[in-house]
Amino acid sequence: MNKIIVISIFLISCCVNAQSVNLPKQIQNSHEEINQRMFNEMAMDWTKIFVSNNYLPPVGAQFLCIPASSNTDIDVVKIKYQIDENIFTITQTLCGFFLEICTNEELNLKKVESMAQKVLKNAKSLTFKSTNADLTEGISVSAERPAPQHWLNTLHWNIKGKNTMLIYFIKDDGMPSALDKGFDDSSNKNWFKMYNSNMKNKRSSKNNQD
């Protein structure tokens, strides 16, 4: 089995099963509420990079910020919406993008591939191959792509039950990044805390300048 799939099993479980929780007090005060809006804006910006316009969340829809629980250090943002008869759930970590689609038909490799080609941007020539005997999980076939489309080369997919598919990949816009991006826990922990600290440092620096 592909190494990335192995190390990401726990992370995937946390993402797709994350539920709404009460935010801790440190994320409820006035200046942290701005960060809630910031995370929503960041998540929506990433979504617009990867998801075709016809399948984007409705205008005005908001990502829910779900802080790490006692079981994991992974912070996630999540949104759920419906287009036609399909239910979409997008979950994002610091480095990962997870798109779950619940359909009204029984899925197989070709149907998952076809759906991905429609829903994802720059994916009309996307090809999937299976990595297990049941043909229920796999990866995308690598191809020569410009830097802004390198995320397609990190794409994995699987079929859950009969009519639910999950596509996930590394968030990569082709720009240089200081992050060591991956699906593992260490690459995705303390997302909210890291950005909150950065915002506090910026405020402190601005106050000192004033």
47-60 confidence digits (pLDDT tens) = 999 999 999 999 99
In terms of C-beta density within 10 A (0-12 exposed, 13-18 middle, 19 or more buried), how is residue 182 classed? middle
Six token digits for residue 191: 């997302």
Residues 103/164, Cβ–Cβ less than 8 Å = yes
Residues 46/99, Cβ–Cβ less than 8 Å = no
The pLDDT > 90 percentage for the chain reads 46
- Distance from C-alpha of 136 to C-alpha of 108, rounded to nearest angstrom: 7
pLDDT of residue 15: 59
pLDDT 10s digits, 13-59: 555 555 543 333 333 333 344 477 888 999 999 999 999 999 999 99
The answer to the question of residue 60 being in a domain is: yes
Question: What domain range includes position 137?
Answer: 3-174+181-203
The answer to the question of residue 37 being in a domain is: yes
The answer to the question of residue 210 being in a domain is: no
The answer to the question of residue 41 being in a domain is: yes
The pLDDT > 70 percentage for the chain reads 69
Q: φ and ψ at 174, to 5 degrees?
A: 85, -5
The answer to the question of residue 208 being in a domain is: no
Residues 6+ apart with CB under 8 A from 170: 95, 96, 97, 151, 154, 181, 182, 183
The answer to the question of residue 66 being in a domain is: yes
Residues 157/115, Cβ–Cβ less than 8 Å = no
pTM as predicted: 0.78
The DSSP code for 142 is P
- Distance from C-alpha of 132 to C-alpha of 172, rounded to nearest angstrom: 26
The answer to the question of residue 124 being in a domain is: yes
- Distance from C-alpha of 58 to C-alpha of 54, rounded to nearest angstrom: 10
Amino acid found at 72:
T
The alpha carbons of the chain give a radius of gyration, in whole angstroms, of: 18
* Number of compact structural domains in the chain: 1
The answer to the question of residue 209 being in a domain is: no
The pLDDT of residue 178 is above 60: no
Choice among 28-37, 85-94, 144-153, 156-165 with the minimum mean pLDDT:
28-37
